[in-house]
Amino acid sequence: MDGTYREQEKWDLVIQPRKQWFDLHLQDLWRYRDLISLFVKRDFVTFYKQTAFGPLWYIIQPILITVVFNIVFSKVAKISTDGIPSFLFFLSGNVAWGYFASCFDQASGTFVKNASIFGKVYFPRLTAPVSVVVINLVKFGIQLTLFIGFYIYFIASGSTVRPTLFILLLPVLIFQMALLSLGMGILVSSLTTKYRDLTFVMTFAVQLWMYASSIVFPASRVPEKFLPFYMANPMASVIELFRYSFFGKGIHDPFYIAVSWAVTIMVLFGGIMLFSRIEKSFMDTV
C-alpha cells in the first residue's frame, strides 16, 4: 500500500543541488515569470513612491546630462561629432549607455540587496537580475521615445541626418545591451559576496567605461592603430551601430560587430556559471 502510494506520487517541482558547471536550470526562469513581474512592480513602486516627479525623472535625467555634455565637450572642448548635431549625438549616446549602465549597476547588487529574501524561500536566483533588465527596459523605452521626438524635430528643422536600414536591427542592439549588462551585473554580484571593495571599484570603472564607449566622441576620432582594441569593447560597437542606424554615420564593420557579440556571449555565460556556483553558499558570506 505504502509502496504503491509512493509510485503514484508526482511532484510539480523537485529542488536538488547542481552537480555540474553547466547544470544551470535556465528553464526555471520561464516557470517563475510571474515572480519576475512582481519584482518589476516592486522595484518601480519602491523607487518612485516618494518622488515628486515620478517617472518624469526618466525624461529629465538624460536631457540634463545631454545639456552638460553638449556644453563641456562640444562648446568648450570642441570635440567633433562627425557632422551629427551635437545635441542628438550626446543624447543618443546617453540614452543607449543609460540602459546598459542602469542594468549593470542594479544587477551587480543582486545578492546583497536580496539577501533577506534569498535566505527565506526558494526561487531561481536569476529572476532578480532578470527583473532588473526588464524594469530598465521600460525606462529605456521612454527615453528612446524622447530621443526620437528630438530626432524628428531636428530633421524637420533642416538637419541632414537620415536613418539607415540598420535601424531595423535596433531590437537586436537592445537585446545585446540587455545580455551584456546582465552578464556583467551577475558576474560582479557574485564576486562582491566575498570582495565588498568591488562595489566601490565598479563605481569608478563604469565611469571610465563610459568614456571608452563612444559616448563623448565618435570612434572615428580614435587612431587607427588603436581602433581594434577600442572596438573590442562591446558597448563601443553598440553605440556606433545605434548612431549609424539613426544618423548614417558611425563604424559598422561586420568584424567588430562579431567581436562585440563574442565578448557579450562570453561575459554572459561566464557570469551565469559563476552566479550558479556562488548562490549555493553566498548566505555564509553576505
33 in a structural domain: yes
122 in a structural domain: yes
What mean pLDDT comes out for the span 211-235? Answer: 90
Number of compact structural domains in the chain? 1
Look up residue 95 and give its amino acid: V
Predicted local distance difference test score (pLDDT) of residue 278: 74
Helices (H) and strands (E) counted in the chain, each on its own, are 13, 0
Question: What is the spatial distance between Cα 122 and Cα 231, in angstroms, rounded to a whole number?
Answer: 41
Question: What is the spatial distance between Cα 119 and Cα 283, in angstroms, rounded to a whole number?
Answer: 7
What mean pLDDT comes out for the span 254-282? Answer: 85
Domain with 263, as residue range(s), is 25-284
What mean pLDDT comes out for the span 141-163? Answer: 91
Predicted local distance difference test score (pLDDT) of residue 286: 53
Burial class (CB in 10 A: 0-12, 13-18, 19+), 273: middle
146 in a structural domain: yes
pLDDT band at residue 1, thresholds of 50, 70 and 90? very low
Spatial neighbors of 31 by CB under 8 A, at least 6 apart, are 13, 124
12 in a structural domain: no
210 in a structural domain: yes
pLDDT band at residue 42, thresholds of 50, 70 and 90? confident
188 in a structural domain: yes
Q: pLDDT tens digits, residue range 174-222?
A: 999 999 999 998 888 888 777 777 777 787 888 889 988 989 999 988 9
230 in a structural domain: yes
Q: Which of 55-69, 80-94, 108-122 has the lowest mean pLDDT?
A: 108-122
